A and B are shown apart, each in its own frame.
Chain A
Amino acid sequence: MTDLASQTIEKPAATRETVIRVRDLFVAFGQSLVMRGLDLDVYRGEVLGFVGGSGQGKSVLMRTILGLVDKRSGLIELFGRDRDALTSAERRRVERRWGVLFQNGALFSSLTVRQNIQMPMRETGHISARLMDELAMLKLELVGLPASAADKFPAELSGGMIKRAALARALALDPELVFLDEPTSGLDPIGAAEFDELIATLQHTLGLTVFMVTHDLDSLYSICDRIAALAEGKVIAAGPMEEMLACEHPWLKAYFHGVRGSRLSGALDARKTNMRGRE
């Protein structure tokens, strides 16, 4: 199992730039080890779907990479630089290169949507007011929110709109790397599909690298270039969908070949044969 995992990780490493590199990561809360020697690579320009059972620590890993949770040991490299070696100014500069969409949006409740989006821009301190207003409206439109949402407060928005507004805020500084924590949870299937499409479009146009924690099999099938699976504090497998489907790990088998998984993979196969037929 570990052999397969390390193979799939190292194969493309030679050819592509690594944006996030995690090696031998240990994270613990008190006595309980959450991450036990975890290795992970995220390559530039890819959409990495990160899956794992509930309570396995997907969000913990994301928060550890972001620096919100302290690690016990191990290496975390961001944009090719060791996070521990960064000075606080460099760290801030790195933080401006990523955007984060938290699971519940984490919009500032005392600010309107427009002010929320402008918040990171304002902090850079050298963007003209006109451009900030225009960019905020543009981002709002990009994520598919009506202009009337701009002056609303988060408490007045629906769950789906909060997600979109939070994505707009995450994209405010045109980051190279975006972390999405369960972006499509709580959205209806149409909204979720639109969200997937939105992420795919943004990724193509902006050359975004996306680290996506998700349980949405549809998203995994439709927009993820690679998938990494977390279990027992390690990445048990990482690779494109085909490899994950071929993987023999019992949890992965249950995940992808369970009732919902096989329904989708069946649909995927059908679509493939269809396309081949058309060619």
Chain B
Amino acid sequence: MATDLDHTARLSSRREGETARFALGGEWVLADSAALEKDAAGMAAAARGAARAIVDLAQIVRLDTAGAWIIGRAMDELAHAGVSVSLEGARPEHVILLQETKFRPFEAPSRCRRLLVVDILADLGRSVVSAAQDAYSGVGFLGEFVVASGVSLMAAGRFRFTSLVYHMESFGFRSLPIIALINLLVGAIVAQQGIFQLRRFGAGAYAVDLIGILVLRELGVLLTSIMIAGRSGSAITAELGSMKMREEVDALRVMGLSPVEVLVTPRVLALVLSLPLLTFIADMSALFGGLLVCWVYEGISPAAYLSLLQAAIGRNTFIVGLIKAPFMALVIGMVAAMEGMATRGSAESLGRHVTASVVKAIFMVIVLDGFFAIFFAAIKY
């Protein structure tokens, strides 16, 4: 790196009648570019009125492309001002360098400005179209998945059992602790709030009904699905996306294997099988959280809690929650796999698709839950 020592005589100019002489010396390198540019800009002013300019490079110690470029640019400016410029004392390697970096104007990066309104409208249109395309390709992908899983289930030899178990372990078994924990906490929080609000009407014991119905019908499955969308959906997208980026997916395809069958089916099936199991665990831990809070705050003993719970809920309450789980899993798996497969070459694209996967999966899970609520209300289950 250049130090401040050898800056003394980087540029000295002398006027000899019609001729301006510039003696350059020292280091003309990128590290000093700011100062060099300033010096070079001064050359045009110093040569005003002169007919000829001689640039003497004999004293230059070091020259790199940046330095050569700045010299070339200054010489070009002089030439434009009507001064005929010549070089003197340049070493052969410097001459080559100066030739290689001879000044030529580059067009500035084009930043076309458009109307903001037009941009917003175009963006809006594009997202509507892409949403429609998403729906369309989602249906196509679902069909592909159904065919692929049908094929692998029918032909026993083609079913990837090891892969399925492996993914069930990583999506299901390994998320047990976190699922149990958050549901325990949410069950406890709902119970506490319920007790506090209902106590005002002297109906604190009805908190048990609140917990039982809310947790079993909605909260257990919803929280589990959201957690799994964040935890496993993102993992699926990232995994498939990086496989896509490294052409692993293409390698499968040219071997005559269907990526959907090999990669997507085991993962989605693992999710479909794991999520109901996780939902069951979630339900149980939330009810347990409620039990603890009811005991501490309202003095309802565990035995009393259980009998109140039995009175409050029926088998259908439990089934309604559980029945939604495989559908949630399917939605999460489909969205995650589709986003993964849509990944293009760059790391940025992978990041964007992982984000989109999680956001879309959670959104779809909640929308689906809404539809289920309408459906079950309509059939009075």
Contact = CB atoms under 8 A, between A and B. Distances in A.
Interface in B230-247: none
A133 interface: yes
A91 to B, nearest CB: 12
A174 interface: yes
Contacts, number: 77
A127 B30 contact: yes
A139 B31 CA distance: 16
Contacts of B69: 131, 134-135, 138
Interface in B105-121: 106-110
B96 interface: yes
Nearest to B351: A110
A74 to B, nearest CB: 27
Dominant secondary structure of chain A at its interface with chain B: helix
A126 B70 CA distance: 15
A127 B33 contact: yes
B66 A131 contact: yes
Given A126-B33, A142-B100, A155 B106 contact: no
B33 A138 contact: no
B345 A155 contact: yes
Contacts of B106: 133-134, 137-138, 147
A205 B109 contact: no
B33 A131 contact: yes
B344 interface: yes
B65 A155 contact: no
Contacts of A58: none
Dominant secondary structure of chain B at its interface with chain A: helix
Contacts of A93: 1
A154 interface: yes
A135 B37 contact: no
Point out which of B73, B96, B109, B110 has the most chain A C-beta atoms below 10 A from its C-beta: B109
B214 to A, nearest CB: 44
Contacts of B73: 134
B59 interface: no
A236 to B, nearest CB: 34
B100 A110 contact: no
B329 interface: no
A256 to B, nearest CB: 32
A133 B108 CA distance: 8
B65 A135 contact: yes
B347 interface: yes
Given A109-B345, A114-B109, A173 B34 contact: no
Contact of A206 (B65, B109, B345, B348): B65
B100 A205 contact: yes
Interface in B321-352: 344-349
Interface in A84-136: 93, 96-97, 109-110, 114, 121, 124, 126-128, 131, 133-135
Interface in B72-106: 73, 93, 96-97, 100-101, 106
B93 to A, nearest CB: 6
B29 interface: yes
A149 B145 CA distance: 40
A207 interface: yes
B18 interface: no
Given A110-B346, A131-B33, A142-B65, A204 B109 contact: no
B107 A147 contact: yes
B248 interface: no
Nearest to A112: B109
B70 A131 contact: yes
Interface in B53-76: 64-66, 69-70, 73
A133 to B, nearest CB: 7
A201 B93 CA distance: 10
Contact of A154 (B34, B65, B109, B345): B345
Point out which of A128, A205, A206 has the most chain B C-beta atoms below 10 A from its C-beta: A205
A153 interface: yes
Contacts of A151: 109-110
Nearest to A171: B65
B346 A174 contact: no
Contacts of A153: 346
A137 B106 CA distance: 7
Interface string B18-56: 000000000001110110010000000000000000000
7 contacts: A97-B1, A110-B347, A131-B33, A133-B108, A147-B107, A174-B30, A207-B93
Those 5 A-B pairs whose CB atoms lie nearest each other, nearest first: A155-B345, A109-B346, A174-B64, A110-B348, A137-B106
Given A110-B348, A154-B346, 11 more contacts: A109-B347, A110-B346, A110-B347, A128-B37, A131-B66, A133-B106, A133-B109, A138-B101, A155-B346, A204-B93, A204-B96
